[in-house]
Every structure is written in C-alpha cells, then in structure tokens.
Amino acid sequence: MDKLIITAAICGAEVTKEHNEAVPYTVEEIAREARLAYEAGASIIHLHVREDDGTPTQSAKRFRECMEAIKACCGDVIVQPSTGGAVGMSNDERLEPITLLPEMATLDCGTCNFGGDDIFVNTENTIIEFAQRMKPLGIKPEVEVFDKGMIDMAIRLAKKGIIPTPMHFNLVMGVNGGISGTPRDLLFMVESLPAGSTFTVSGVGRCQLAMNTMSILLGGHVRVGFEDNVNLAKGVKAKSNADFVTRIREIAFTLGRETATPSEARAILGLK
C-alpha cells in the first residue's frame, strides 16, 4: 500500500465557535490550526476561509491571505481550497480561489440535501464548468462525492475528457442527505471507483473514526478535522485539528501504514 495521506479540513463552512471554540475564523487562527495539523502529520490542508466574524467567504483576497500565512509556517504542505463554498453561493463566487493557482481544488460531482431546506446544488453543467475552468490552470480536482451516483457522474465526464484521469476521489460518508457512514456503504463506494483511482475517506460526525480506520485498511487515505467533527469522543471536544491528525496517525502506525510527507503525497497523487 501507498503511504497514508492525511488531509486536515481545519474549519469548513458550517461549523462555528458555538460548536467548538477552537474552530478558526481569522487568518491567524487558520494559520495556527494549519501549522498544528501539519506538525502532527497532515500533508494536505483542505481550506475553507471565513471573515473574522466567522462568515464563510470564497473571496480570492481572503484565500490569498490565508494561503500565504499557511505557507509561511507550514513549509511544503499542499493547500487544497474548497470550491464548494457555502450553500447559496454562485458558481463564480465559489470558483474565486482557483485564480490563485493551487495544486488541487475540490470538484463536487452532484447535488445533495444538507438538512432542513439547505440544498448543495451542483448540476451537471456546473460540474462541467468547474472542471473545464480548472483544467487549463493545471489544477488537479479532488472529486467530492456524497453518494454512488456522483461516482458515476465523474466516470461519465472522465470518459468525455472533461475530468482528467487518473482521478482522486474524496468519499464523504455520513452527511445528512448523502450515503450513510457504514462499513457496508463504504465498501460499496470503494468498489465502484474506476481502476487506477486514488481515494480519501471523510466520515462526518460520529462515523468519522470508523470510516477513517476502514479507509486505512482498504489502502485509501483519510480526511480529519473540525469541518467533519468537533468531538474526539462523545462529550469530549477536540482542542485542535492536530488532535484528530495525531489519533489517526497512531492508528495507521498500529495498522502498518506509514504517513506520507507532502512530497510523497504529491507523488502518490500525481501532482506536478
């Protein structure tokens, strides 16, 4: 098996300090959380950004400030901006971070209910637009999927040459409105991936640890962090994203998987 790539999703767009006071908002807080996660063993920082009051934003200016601050304290870490943004944002707004030419960015491959009246909209034309705007910039998409049909969408678009191959997937398990975070469902998702793909597993909420551990055993990679879960255990809040990174790195070591450095992650993912 390849070495394990650990992605730290350090703040997301939905969790707040009311959920956990350590969730970062400011540039300084985001850089601190990225540094702690990197020092604990994360080779990718999956990045959403906030205004100082916690409001989600896709502003290229704010992303630049945060990315520069992260690079200043995290050496060669891979910074992966989200193009998901927050529910209700326009396509142009969501795509602002790609103007900064990151190595990777997310590409959501389907529409999903996010609870209540919230719908995360990604029509087929939206997916095509995002992929076509990333491709000439040399940005590798991380194909975000919340259900099996989204894998099928990515495969169809890859066959048309719209999404470059080999693809790297992020299998998001346990979102309200997406596929459940169970071993059966994760195995179904992994077995549905096209040959030659790599994959990361994100488990949301209480299923995070089980899904991450199963991914390690299946030869996949893992995403951890406040975006997906603010608690280390029931009633026990994490003090930092580094708590999640440290825990999963120790589990991986016990299971015989070494952790990839950023340079090793680039080789595994085919980044230039």
Tens digit of each residue's pLDDT (9 = 90 or more) over 25-69 = 999 999 999 999 999 999 999 999 999 999 999 999 999 999 999
Cα separation, 133 vs 136, in Å, equals 7
Chain-centroid distance of CA 125 in Å reads 22
pLDDT band at 115 (very low <50, low <70, confident <90, very high): confident
Question: Which pLDDT belongs to residue 31?
Answer: 98
pLDDT of residue 153: 98
Residue 116 reports pLDDT greater than 90: no
Least confident span in 108-112, 115-119, 151-155, 223-227? 115-119
113: CB partners within 8 A, 6+ apart: 119, 120, 176, 177
Please state whether the peptide bond connecting residue 97 to the residue before it is cis, i.e. omega within 30 degrees of 0. no
Rounded CA separation 146/151 (Å): 9
Residue 272 is predicted with a pLDDT of 73
| Identity of the residue numbered 52 | D
pLDDT tens digit sequence for 187-239: 999 999 999 999 999 999 999 999 999 999 999 999 999 999 999 998 999 99
pLDDT band at 81 (very low <50, low <70, confident <90, very high): very high
The DSSP letter of residue 78 is E
Amino acid identity at 191? E
What pLDDT score was predicted for residue 82?
97
User: What are the structural domains of the chain?
Assistant: 6-269 (3.20.20.70)
Phi, psi dihedrals of residue 151, rounded to the nearest 5°: -65, -45
Whole-number pLDDT of residue 132: 98
**Residue 93, token pair as written in the block:** 């707004």
Average pLDDT, stretch 247-261? 98
Average pLDDT of the residues in 173-197:
97
Per-residue pLDDT tens over the stretch 127-170: 999 999 999 999 999 999 999 999 999 999 999 999 999 999 99
